[in-house]
Amino acid sequence: MKDATPKDIALQLCAEIRDQYRGKWWTLVGMQCWGCVKFSKGDAAKMCVSGCPDYRGCNLVNARYDKDR
């Protein structure tokens, strides 16, 4: 099992990914981020990243965190 992602880092990576794909809703990543933000209404506690107690709920954040480590 992978290590937990610190909350502040997970939320920062989530914001970076959203910014990177903002307006690119025709891509799979863009669609995933759009859906996450739309259905959570921008509430970080309801976003995919917060879906697990260890902040490993978003595959995009996990991949970037694991790559940067």
Give the range of the structural domain holding residue 42, as residue numbers without chain letter: 7-68
For residue 2, is it within any domain?
A: no
Q: How many CB atoms lie within 10 A of CB 56?
A: 19
Is residue 55 domain-resident?
Answer: yes
Residue 1 counted as domain residue? no
- What's the per-residue H, E or C state across the chain? CCCCCCHHHHHHHHHHHHHHHCCCCCCHHHHHHHHHHHHHCCCHHHCHHHCCCCCCCCHHHHHHHHHHC
Domain assignment of residue 46, yes or no? yes
Q: What is the pLDDT of residues 12-59, one digit of tens each?
A: 999 999 999 998 989 999 999 999 999 999 999 999 999 999 999 999
pLDDT over 70 at 66, yes or no: yes
Residue 19 lies in a domain: yes
- As a whole number of angstroms, the distance between CA 42 and CA 54 comes to 20
Give the total number of structural domains in the chain.
Answer: 1
